[in-house]
């Protein structure tokens, strides 16, 4: 029952609403802006960036200047790599094989319902485990170029259409916990270095610490940090190597970096800041879409604009001077100064608080903006009915993080004045001297063998114990400027993100109810309150945190009174409901089952509809007011008590 319900739910939810933080065209746009600005700032980096052509070399990869273009009509450019990463490939190795390996056998693409149903229960699995069938790249490119920026906001990518062009798309999306940040947490060395073995151990015991078969934990900070450190490692190797190895290392570094940018860019979307992906695909998708649409008020890091430079973010809402100190009612919500923690303070250096205004409240000069999610940049704000200034804030932030991250890699490959330095200990990779040692591929026969072997050497973690990789990420973390400047939800301001329901997530509950039948037409008994109908229902439910949505699959057993006497009815139910004010939930659903035994001990099929109103208490108990009706049960109402057991999926 759980598998069927969960599978159908995932398909409906993910097919009806975008599940990614940003659209394909938005990921590509952020990357193109960052690359264009970097090359303008330092023309010598153009040659380094162009070396990436060696890694992408395929019939549909752009050549020459087209590699740096935004949405060239007939080929994939560098800016397409982050858009394909994550959403259309489960790992950087799969990304190379699926989209840039001309020798890989192409498969007919179709919406394969059995495979979707089988995959939809795999939310806790890593996308690294997904199928790598090769799509029809030409058809995909033709479709995606119809969505190029010059056509914004006329059309947007459609998930069902993408699934028809790339049938592994949903399989990857259903394992996309890697795109979500640890909920409402700021990046830290500990979070960025989280890892797990490929057989599911979380890297907390001696056996897993010594494993050389591991990958990042399934959250965005860890995936970005791992790929970004790989890019820095190869870039540093390139600066010290002779040609042609130097070019190959530079190309591998940029390819890993472009793959990493998808997860960094996703970290700007509100739905990826607040959502707890551990609660499952349905809960994640519902919360993600709501927070992306409603927006999230955040503080702009003080150093972001200085790090990127005035020329890149000139006129940006991120870098505009904060409004003068003014009463709350005199300023727009996303431009007003934030109240200081201590309203009575004249100055508070920790929060930049100044002299109180006429209202007696001290304000901070920290800039604040409202961020929105997928589609806001592509539609210039229209999709969420917000000003273009709000769309630019999201565009500038995601592009600025991409700029900072790419600059670190380019600096490592070709240093120039003002480049940040990387801690040498973080680059102490066992395979740095010869990343192709131990490779079993025939490098001479396979046209993409060297590219895949170099990318795989990092990703497959050969000769690199989990403990060592984790320690190097921690060592390098302080130098990750992109990660250090992601939006962070302030505990002092913005929306209240305490879950409204303590049982949010996956729960199993049991309800014991006492019902009363009113309908004499379907009852062989007189209508009297003394004739009660006991009911027991066991339910599996999903309650989306901070959303007024309840989805439930359940089975019940009820003493039913029908035309043929008294019997026990057993039913399978599907319910949906909404959260009302004050902790109340209203449910309605349909149940199908059998009433047995009857006078002749033969079963009789039943179809029932029902509804109930629940008042949830903090201790996990709920009182339910129930009404319903059915083929044998007649019209009933009653009172029930539900007890719930929380199941945490971590």
The predicted-structure confidence for 315-349, as pLDDT tens digits, reads as follows 888 987 654 333 333 333 333 344 444 444 333 33
Ranking 108-112, 149-153, 276-280, 583-587 by mean pLDDT, the lowest is: 108-112
Residue 307 domain-assigned (yes or no):
no
Question: pTM for this one?
Answer: 0.76
Structure tokens at 275: 């959502």
CA pair distance 524, 567, nearest whole angstrom: 12
**Does one domain contain both 33 and 142?**
yes
**Does one domain contain both 123 and 251?**
yes
* Nearest residue to 620 (alpha-carbon basis) of 647, 595, 581: 647
**Does one domain contain both 116 and 257?**
yes
Q: DSSP alpha helices (H): ranges in 432-510?
A: 449-459, 466-476, 481-484
Q: Specify the higher pLDDT residue, 426 or 237.
A: 237
**Does one domain contain both 10 and 100?**
yes
Q: Among residues 484, 514, 539, which one ends one of the domains?
A: 484
CA pair distance 175, 124, nearest whole angstrom: 7
CA pair distance 10, 210, nearest whole angstrom: 37
CB contact at 8 A, 466 and 208 = yes
Q: Among residues 436, 454, 484, which one ends one of the domains?
A: 484
Q: Among residues 484, 518, 535, which one ends one of the domains?
A: 484
CA pair distance 28, 240, nearest whole angstrom: 31
pLDDT per residue as tens digits for the range 116-142: 555 555 556 667 766 567 888 999 999
**Does one domain contain both 202 and 64?**
yes
Contacts (Cβ under 8 Å, ≥6 apart) of 211: 197, 201, 203, 465, 466
pLDDT per residue as tens digits for the range 192-219: 999 988 876 766 666 677 888 899 999 9
Instruction: Tally the residues of the chain.
Output: 650
Q: What percent of the chain has a predicted confidence (pLDDT) above 90?
A: 28
pLDDT per residue as tens digits for the range 28-66: 999 999 999 999 999 999 999 999 999 999 999 999 999
Q: What is the 3-state secondary structure (H, E, C) of 201-230?
A: CCCCCHHHHCCCCEEECCCHHHHHHHHHHH
* Res 251: pLDDT: 97
* Res 323: pLDDT: 47
Answer yes or no: is pLDDT of 70 > 80: yes
CA pair distance 577, 50, nearest whole angstrom: 54
Answer yes or no: is pLDDT of 156 > 50: yes
* Res 30: pLDDT: 96
Q: Specify the higher pLDDT residue, 309 or 453.
A: 453
User: pLDDT-based confidence at 555, cuts 50/70/90?
Assistant: confident
Residue 56 domain-assigned (yes or no):
yes
* Res 532: pLDDT: 66
CA pair distance 33, 19, nearest whole angstrom: 24
* Res 169: pLDDT: 76
* Res 589: pLDDT: 82
- CATH number of the domain encompassing residue 569: 2.40.160.20
**Does one domain contain both 10 and 126?**
yes
**Does one domain contain both 17 and 100?**
yes
Mean pLDDT of 264-277: 90
CA pair distance 230, 36, nearest whole angstrom: 23
* Res 68: pLDDT: 96
**Does one domain contain both 479 and 547?**
no
User: pLDDT-based confidence at 549, cuts 50/70/90?
Assistant: low
Count of domains in the chain?
A: 2
CA pair distance 389, 163, nearest whole angstrom: 33
Task: Tell me the CA distances in angstroms from 104 to 55, 162, 163, 324, 447, one per residue in order.
Answer: 15, 20, 20, 60, 10
Q: Specify the higher pLDDT residue, 523 or 250.
A: 250
Answer yes or no: is pLDDT of 384 > 70: yes
**Does one domain contain both 477 and 515?**
no
* Res 610: pLDDT: 74
* Res 540: pLDDT: 74
* Res 116: pLDDT: 53
Residue 327 domain-assigned (yes or no):
no
User: pLDDT-based confidence at 440, cuts 50/70/90?
Assistant: low
pLDDT per residue as tens digits for the range 480-507: 999 999 998 765 444 444 333 334 456 6
Mean of per-residue pLDDT scores for the chain: 75
CA pair distance 75, 53, nearest whole angstrom: 12
Answer yes or no: is pLDDT of 626 > 70: yes
Structure tokens at 559: 């003493």
What pairing do the DSSP bridges indicate for beta strands 584-596 and 604-616? Answer: antiparallel
CB contact at 8 A, 178 and 187 = no
**Does one domain contain both 195 and 92?**
yes
**Does one domain contain both 478 and 521?**
no
Determine the Cα angle at 14 with ends 10 and 16, to 5°: 120
Per the structure, the complete domain to which residue 554 belongs is given by 505-647
Structure-derived torsion over alpha carbons of residues 129, 461, 239, 50, reported in degrees to the nearest 10 = -10
């Amino acid at each position: 029952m759980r598998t069927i319900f969960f599978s159908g739910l995932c398909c409906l939810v993910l097919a009806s609403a975008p599940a990614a933080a940003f659209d394909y065209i938005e990921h590509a746009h952020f990357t193109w802006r960052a690359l264009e600005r970097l090359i303008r700032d330092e023309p010598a980096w153009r040659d380094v960036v162009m070396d990436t052509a060696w890694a992408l070399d395929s019939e549909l990869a752009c050549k020459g200047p087209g590699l740096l273009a935004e949405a060239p009509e007939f080929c994939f450019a560098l800016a397409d790599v982050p858009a394909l990463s994550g959403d259309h490939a489960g790992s950087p190795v799969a990304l190379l094989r699926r989209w840039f390996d001309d020798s890989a056998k192409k498969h007919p693409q179709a919406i394969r319902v059995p495979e979707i149903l089988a995959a939809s229960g795999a939310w806790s699995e890593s996308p690294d485990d997904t199928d790598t069938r090769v799509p029809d790249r030409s058809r995909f490119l033709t479709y995606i170029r119809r969505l190029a920026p010059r056509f914004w906001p006329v059309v947007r990518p459609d998930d069902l259409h993408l699934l028809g062009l790339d049938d592994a798309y949903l399989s990857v999306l259903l394992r996309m916990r890697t795109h979500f940040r640890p909920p409402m947490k700021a990046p830290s060395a500990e979070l960025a270095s989280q890892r797990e073995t490929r057989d599911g151990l979380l890297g907390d015991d001696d056996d897993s610490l010594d494993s050389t078969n591991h990958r990042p934990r399934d959250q965005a900070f860890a995936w970005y940090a791992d790929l970004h450190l790989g890019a820095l490692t190869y870039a540093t190797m390139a600066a010290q190597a002779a040609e042609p190895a130097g070019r190959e290392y530079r190309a591998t570094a940029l390819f890993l970096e472009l793959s990493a940018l998808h997860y960094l860019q996703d970290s700007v979307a509100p739905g990826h800041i607040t959502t707890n992906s551990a609660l499952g695909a349905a809960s994640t998708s519902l919360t993600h879409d709501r927070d992306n649409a409603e927006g999230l008020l955040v503080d702009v890091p003080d150093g972001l604009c200085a790090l990127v430079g005035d020329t890149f973010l000139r006129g940006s809402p991120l870098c505009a001077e904060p409004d003068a100190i003014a009463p709350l009612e005199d300023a727009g919500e996303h431009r007003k100064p934030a109240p200081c923690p201590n309203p009575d303070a004249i100055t508070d250096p920790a929060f930049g608080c100044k002299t109180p205004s006429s209202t007696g409240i001290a304000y901070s000069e920290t800039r604040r903006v409202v961020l929105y999610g997928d589609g806001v940049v592509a539609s210039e704000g229209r999709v969420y009915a917000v000003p273009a200034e709000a769309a630019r804030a999201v565009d500038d932030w995601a592009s600025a993080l991409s700029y900072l991250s790419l600059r670190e890699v380019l600096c490592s490959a070709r240093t120039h004045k003002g480049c940040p330095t990387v801690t040498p200990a973080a680059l102490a990779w066992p395979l740095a001297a010869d990343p192709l040692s131990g490779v079993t591929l025939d490098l001479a026969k396979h046209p993409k063998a060297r590219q895949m072997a170099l990318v795989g050497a990092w990703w497959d973690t050969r000769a690199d114990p989990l403990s060592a990789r984790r320690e190097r990420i921690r060592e390098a973390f302080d130098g990750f400027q992109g990660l250090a400047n992601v939006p962070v939800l302030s505990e002092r301001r913005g929306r209240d993100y305490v879950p409204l329901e303590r049982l949010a997530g996956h729960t199993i509950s049991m309800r014991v109810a006492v019902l009363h039948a009113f309908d004499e037409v379907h009852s062989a008994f007189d209508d009297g309150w003394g004739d009660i109908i006991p009911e027991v229902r066991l339910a599996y439910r999903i309650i989306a945190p901070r959303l007024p949505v309840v989805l439930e699959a359940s089975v019940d057993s009820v003493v039913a009174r029908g035309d043929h006497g008294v019997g026990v009815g057993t039913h399978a139910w599907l319910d949906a409901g909404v959260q009302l004010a004050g902790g109340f939930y209203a449910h309605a659903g349909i149940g199908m089952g059998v009433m047995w035994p009857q006078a002749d001990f033969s079963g009789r099929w039943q179809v029932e509809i029902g509804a109930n109103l629940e008042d949830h208490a903090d201790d996990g108990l709920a009182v339910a007011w129930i009404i319903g009706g059915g083929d044998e049960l007649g019209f009933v109402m009653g009172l029930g008590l539900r007890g719930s057991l929380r199941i945490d999926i971590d």
